[in-house]
Amino acid sequence: MAVLVIADHDNATLKDNTEKTVTAALKLSSDIDILVAGKGAKGVADAAAKITGVRKVLLAESAELGEGLAESMEALVVPLMANYDAVLTPATSQGKNFSPRIAAKLDVAQISEIVDVIDADTFVRPIYAGNALETIKSSDAKKVITVRPTVFKAAADGGSAKVETIPAPAAPAKTHFVDQKLVKSARPELSGAKIVVSGGRAMGSAEEFQKVIEPLADKLGAAVGASRAAVDAGYAPNDYQVGQTGKVVAPELYIAIGISGAIQHLAGMKDSKVIVAINKDADAPIFQVADYGLVADYKTAVPELMAALTAAGK
């Protein structure tokens, strides 16, 4: 069978969600092509061509593909599916936006956010905020799948596939891009970071969140996350949110500060390798998933942690 993987990128750089999705695709087939859809994304296509196990890279460019319009992505991918048995997309907000359109147009089910491949028809995916894992078998001839990238290891570099340019579809008539405001940050990206430091409602204000969480993150070279409560209260921007409805992360080290551990937050971080919780409430549910728990007020614990890290040469 032939599999198409849709690359995750920002037109300038290829994101490692792509390599992780290739790993999932390799469990289905060894005939894997990558689609890079964007604008000014030749460098992304060249990077994708280096992923081991990739046959070829298709590059399509237009203003609307660069803006990630779902209608354009669907119009591009659906005709290509004549040549493929499955299409795999990383389950980012962008992937979730367009992938169901491809499924609807092909009249097949979408198999959402898989965490394992059992065979060519059978997949495992989390449901109920990760409180249950569902094994499902698809009867559709073509599979439209989104992949939770954090559970798959990135495929290595070392290939040299060729890049083939393909035509972009016409612009959608009824959807118009107005603008995009992306948060610029020198910190690693939340979904791929090795260490994540997250703050919760206990911070009490945006100023406190910045004063407590951000220096600790910077000391550890970590990404910054937040609980839904902290985001809803305006202490942290929405794209910091870790949880069922925010980002799902699985870093080497996750440090939760002043986070009680609501079900929907745990759904976004419980696959982290090591979890540290700092909370003054010894009964907070976060301690049930934490490998190391420190029952303390963050106001004293975080400065002490900073000092201990300095003493340890960090």
Partner 1 sequence: MKVLVPVKRVIDYNVKARVKPDQTGVDLANVKMSMNPFCEIAVEEAVRLREKGVATEVVAVSIGPQQASETLRTALAMGADRAILVQTTEDLEPLAVAKVLKAIIGEESPDLVIMGKQAIDGDNNATGQMLATLLDWPQATFASALEVSGKKAKVTREVDGGLQTLEIDLPGIVTADLRLNEPRYASLPNIMKAKKKELAVNELASLGVDTAPRLKVVKVTEPPKRAGGVKVETAADLVSKLKTEAGVL
Site for partner 1 in 222-241 (CB under 8 A): 228, 231-232, 238-239
Residue 215 contacts partner 1 per CB under 8 A: no
By beta-carbon proximity to partner 1, the closer residue of 154 and 296 is 296
CA distance 53 to 156: 9
Residue 183 contacts partner 1 per CB under 8 A: yes
Residue 212's identity, in one-letter code, is V
CA distance 295 to 278: 6
Cite the DSSP H helix spans in 221-281.
228-232, 263-269
CA distance 16 to 67: 20
Binding span for partner 1 by CB under 8 A among 24-32, 40-48, 81-89, 183-191: 183-191
Find, among 279, 310, 311, 275, the residue nearest to 297 by Cα: 279
Residue 109 contacts partner 1 per CB under 8 A: yes
Q: Which two tokens stand for residue 314?
A: 């960090």
Residue 126 contacts partner 1 per CB under 8 A: yes
Find, among 209, 20, 156, 15, the residue nearest to 94 by Cα: 15
Residue 162 contacts partner 1 per CB under 8 A: no
Contact in structure between 55 and 25 (CB atoms under 8 Å): no
Binding span for partner 1 by CB under 8 A among 18-26, 44-52, 138-146, 155-163: 138-146
Find, among 38, 22, 55, the residue nearest to 145 by Cα: 22
Applying CB under 8 A, which of residues 82, 158, 162, 179 lies at the interface with partner 1?
A: 179
Least separation in angstroms between residue 112's CB and partner 1 is: 5
Applying CB under 8 A, which of residues 19, 33, 61, 113 lies at the interface with partner 1?
A: 113
For 118, the enclosing helix (H) or strand (E) is strand 116-119
Q: Which two tokens stand for residue 55?
A: 């046959």
Residue 20 contacts partner 1 per CB under 8 A: no
Least separation in angstroms between residue 171's CB and partner 1 is: 12
Bridge partners (DSSP) listed for residue 143: 86
Residue 12 contacts partner 1 per CB under 8 A: no
The rounded Cα 301 to chain-centroid distance in angstroms is: 30
Taking each helix axis as running N to C, give the angle between helix 206-220 and helix 298-311, from 0 to 180 degrees, rounded to the nearest 10.
20
Residue 312 contacts partner 1 per CB under 8 A: yes
By beta-carbon proximity to partner 1, the closer residue of 83 and 93 is 93
Least separation in angstroms between residue 59's CB and partner 1 is: 21
Least separation in angstroms between residue 162's CB and partner 1 is: 29
Dihedral (C-alpha) 224, 206, 130, 188: value to the nearest 10 degrees? -10
Contact in structure between 120 and 37 (CB atoms under 8 Å): no
| Contact code string over 278-307 relative to partner 1, x by CB under 8 A | ---------xxxxxxxxxx----x--xx-x
Dihedral (C-alpha) 199, 266, 188, 92: value to the nearest 10 degrees? -130
Residue 275 contacts partner 1 per CB under 8 A: yes
Residue 116 contacts partner 1 per CB under 8 A: no
Residue 244 contacts partner 1 per CB under 8 A: yes
By beta-carbon proximity to partner 1, the closer residue of 175 and 205 is 175
Residue 138 contacts partner 1 per CB under 8 A: yes
Residue 97 contacts partner 1 per CB under 8 A: yes
Applying CB under 8 A, which of residues 82, 132, 186, 283 lies at the interface with partner 1?
A: 132
Residue 83 contacts partner 1 per CB under 8 A: no
DSSP helix/strand/coil, 87: strand
